[in-house]
Amino acid sequence: MEVVSGGVSLQQYLILSSVLFSIGVYGVLARRNAVMILMSVELMLNAVSINFVAFAVYTAPTLFIGIIFAIFVITVAAAEVGLALAIILRVFRNRGTANVDEISTLKW
C-alpha cells in the first residue's frame, strides 16, 4: 500500500460530508412525501459513507475497516430502499396517499 499526498486535507472531506448530512436532515424534516423522505435518507447515508472512507484512507490505512463498513452501508441501504418502497406502495394502495402527515391513524 503506497502513501501518496492527498492534495486535499481530511477536514475538507469531513466538511463536505457534514454539509451533505445536514441537507439530508433538512429534507427528512421538511418534506411530506414518503418517497422524498427516503431520498433524503439516502443523502444522509452517503454522507456517512464519505466520512467512513475518508477516515479509513487518511488515518487507519492498515485496517481499512472504514471501506469495508462503507460496503455494508451500501448493502443495507439497498435493502432498506427495497423494503421501504414496498411499504410505501402498500400504504398508498390502502390510503390513497403517500404523504406522511396524512397517515396519522396511530397518532394520539
Region 17-46 residues binding other proteins, contact defined as CB under 8 A: 18-33, 35-36, 38-40, 42-43, 46
Interaction between residue 10 and other proteins (CB under 8 A): yes
Report 41-100 residues binding other proteins (CB under 8 A).
42-43, 46, 49-50, 53-54, 56-59, 61, 64, 67-68, 70-72, 74-83, 85-90, 92, 96-98, 100
- Consecutive H or E run containing 58: helix 34-59
The amino acid at residue 80 is: E
Q: Report whether 99 contacts 31 (CB < 8 A).
A: no
Shortest distance in whole angstroms from residue 106 CB to other proteins: 17
Based on the shown chain and the rule CB under 8 A, indicate whether residue 12 belongs to the binding site for other proteins: yes
Does residue 103 bind other proteins (CB under 8 A)?
no
**Number of residues written out for the chain:** 108
Q: Scan for cell 424534516, then name that residue.
A: 29
Work out the number of other CB atoms within 10 angstroms of the CB of residue 2: 4
